[in-house]
Amino acid sequence: MISSFSGHHRFLSNFFPCEIELDGEIYVSLEHAFQARKTLDLAERAKVRAAKTPGDAKHLGRKVTLVENWEKIKLGVMETLVHQKFKRHPILRGELLLTGDEELVEGNTWGDVFWGVCRGKGENHLGKILMKIRSELRR
C-alpha cells in the first residue's frame, strides 16, 4: 500500500506542480484548478489561479462563491482533473502505472477524511479516483 502522497510518491498529490487546463486557462497545479472550479466568478477564479502555492489556492477556494451544485459535482470535477493530469503528462502517467496494483491512500494528518484518510479513518476518494484512472490507463 502507498499510504502517503509524499517523497517518491509526491506526484500523486494535487499539490504537485503540473499544468492543468480549465476553461481555456492554465493552472500550475491540479489543486489550483480544482479550487477555481468551485466558482463561476471569473475574478475569484483569477485570484485562485494567481495563488503562489497550492496551499494558498486551497485557502482561497474556501472563500469563493460556490457553484450551486458543488457537493453533487465535486467528485466528477476531481476525476476529470486527475484524468487530465495523467493524460497530459506522460512522465506522471508512467509513474502512476509503476505503482502497479498498490492501494493508493491519501494519508494525511490535517483531518481530511473525505479525499483521504486521517488516523485510520476516511473515505479516500482521491485514492480511489487515482486507482480508477490507473486501471483505465492500462487498457
> The CATH number of 7-138 is which of 3.30.450.20, 3.40.50.1950, 1.10.3720.10, 1.10.357.40?
1.10.357.40
Cα dihedral 55→117→21→95 (10° resolution): 110
Please state the pTM of the whole predicted model: 0.95
Band of residue 76 on the pLDDT scale cut at 50, 70, 90? very high
Q: Spell out the domain ranges in the chain.
A: 7-138
Which of 89, 87, 125, 16 is CA-nearest to residue 7? 16
Share of the chain above pLDDT 90, in %: 99
